[in-house]
Amino acid sequence: MTENSVPLLSLNNGVDIPQLGFGVFKVDPDKTARIVRDALDVGYRHLDTARIYHNEEGVGHAVKESGIARDELFITTKLWNSDQTDAEAAFEKSLARLGVDYVDLYLIHWPTPERDTYLQAWRSLEKILASGRAKAIGVSNFTIDHLERLLAETEIVPAVNQVELHVDLQQAELRAYAAEHGIAIEAWGPLGQGRINDSPELVDIARAHGKSVPQTILRWHLQIGNIVIPKSNDKGRMAENFDVFDFELSAAEIASIATLDRGEDGRNGSHPLEVN
Write the pLDDT tens digit of every residue in 139-159: 999 999 999 999 999 999 999
Structural domain includes residue 18: yes
Quick check: is 239 in a domain?
no
Cα–Cα distances (Å) from 243 to 34, 64, 71, 85, 224, in that order, read 21, 25, 23, 41, 17
The CATH number of the domain holding residue 168 is 3.20.20.100
Q: Which of 44, 53, 106, 118 is catalytic?
A: 53
Separation of alpha carbons 221 and 226, rounded Å = 5
Tell me the average pLDDT across 210-224.
97
Rounded to 10 degrees, what is the CA torsion of 232, 234, 235, 241? Answer: -40
Residue 2 is predicted with a pLDDT of 41
Please report whether residue 245 resides in a domain. Answer: no
Residue 204 lies in a domain: no
Residue 136 C-beta-side C-alpha neighbours within 13 Å = 23
By C-alpha distance, which of 180, 188, 254 is closest to 219?
254
Query: Can you say how many angstroms the Cα of residue 239 is from the centroid of all Cα atoms in its chain?
Result: 18
Query: Does 102 participate in catalysis according to the annotation?
Result: no
In which domain, by residue range, is 80 found? 11-194+220-233
User: How many Cα atoms occupy the beta-carbon half-sphere of 210 within 13 Å?
Assistant: 4
Give yes or no for a contact between 108 and 136, defined as CB atoms under 8 angstroms apart: no
Higher local confidence (pLDDT), 195 or 235: 235
Half-sphere exposure of 143 (CA within 13 A, CB side): 10
**H/E segment holding residue 16:** strand 16-18
pLDDT one-digit tens code per residue, 30-67:
999 999 999 999 999 999 999 999 999 999 999 999 99
Quick: pLDDT tens for 84-126. 999 999 999 999 999 999 999 999 999 999 999 999 999 999 9
Specify if 263 maps to a domain: no
CB 160 within 8 A of CB 186: yes
**Cα 98 versus chain centre, distance:** 18
Distance from the Cα of residue 27 to its chain's centroid: 15
Q: 254 lies in a domain? A: no
Q: Write b or e for each residue in 148-181: b if 16 or more Cβ atoms lie within 10 A of its Cβ, otherwise e.
A: ebbeeebebebbbbbbbbbbbbbbeebbebbeee
Phi, psi dihedrals of residue 69, rounded to the nearest 5° = -60, 140
In a domain, 224, yes or no: yes
- What pTM was computed for the model? 0.96
| Phi, psi values for residue 48, rounded to 5° | -125, 120
Q: What pLDDT score does 1 carry? A: 37
* Contact assessment for residue 245 and residue 46, using Cβ atoms and an 8 Å cutoff: no
Amino acid present at 91: F
Report the domain count for the chain: 1
Is 109 within 8 Å of 83 (Cβ atoms)? Answer: no
Whether residue 4 is contained in a domain is answered as no
Mean pLDDT over each residue of the chain, to the nearest integer: 96
